[in-house]
Every structure is written in structure tokens, then in C-alpha cells.
Amino acid sequence: AADLVVDQQLHDGEKSYKGFLECGKSFSNSSNLLIHHWVHTALIHTGEQPYMCRECGKRFSDCSNLICRQNIH
């Protein structure tokens, strides 16, 4: 849970629960953040690579790695 960061500023409608630093997604409630955390963990353990670079076809388990790859092209 060290990758989870909870923003201390709570405002109406603000997505205060920030997910993994790798993907940068934010959520308005902690339960959605926990579901997102589970998805990241499941992908790591299963070896699934759902993110594919359309340029070269290389696949990644983490969307941030895909973004880095796309920036190379």
C-alpha cells in the first residue's frame, strides 16, 4: 500500500484518492481505489499484458510502460 497516496485536501467532487504512481489514476472514493489496486496486482501475478503498442505490437502489463514506449516512436 506504499504506492497509494491519499490527498489531504478533501473538496466536494475532488478525486482525492490517488492510485499507483505508474498510472496516475485518481478516484473519488477509497473503494474504487482498492478495486484499481486489485487489478494492478492481478495483472502482475498473472503476467497478463493487456496494453499493446499500435506502432510495434509490443505488449505491456502496465500502461505507463506503454506510454513510455509510445514516446520512443
The pTM is what? 0.47
CA 31, CA 64: separation in Å to the nearest integer? 22
One-letter amino acid of 73: H
Residues 7-42: tens digit of each pLDDT: 444 444 566 656 655 567 788 888 888 888 887 787
Which grid cell sits at 70?
509510445
* Percent of the chain's residues with pLDDT above 70: 68
**pLDDT greater at residue 18 or residue 72:** 72
Q: Supply the range of the domain harboring residue 18.
A: 5-72
Number of Cα atoms under 13 Å in the Cβ half of residue 51: 15
**Structural domains counted in the chain:** 1
Going by pLDDT thresholds of 50, 70 and 90, the confidence category of residue 46 is confident
- The CATH number of residue 48's host domain is 3.30.160
